[in-house]
Amino acid sequence: EDTNIDIKLIRRFKVFGITLFKKNWVTEGRMRSAFNQRVTRTISMNILLQLLRKNEHLSVC
């Protein structure tokens, strides 16, 4: 599915020019990587919080 969409996009952007497509692709990639970093950060923080809570519970007992 993804490859077909990419080919369609490339064909469409050839009308506007490959440079525009390349620019959009690079910025989209940067945004995606930034979003992924944010998600992984929040997930790791949640895991750390859960571990801390478990440790607190153990220390109370």
Q: Look at residue 47 and tell me whether its pLDDT is greater than 60.
A: yes
pLDDT tens per residue across span 9-46? 767 666 655 565 566 666 777 777 877 788 888 888 88
Place of tokens 């153990």: 58
What is d(CA 22, CA 19) in angstroms, rounded to the nearest whole number? 5
Residue pair 9/21 in contact by the 8 Å Cβ criterion:
yes
pTM metric for this prediction: 0.35
Other beta carbons less than 10 A from residue 1's beta carbon? 5
- Residue 58 is predicted with a pLDDT of 65
**Separation between Cα atoms, residue 55 and residue 47, nearest integer Å:** 12
Q: Does position 4 have pLDDT exceeding 70, yes or no?
A: yes
Rounded alpha-carbon distances, angstroms, from residue 53 to 20, 47, 56: 50, 10, 5
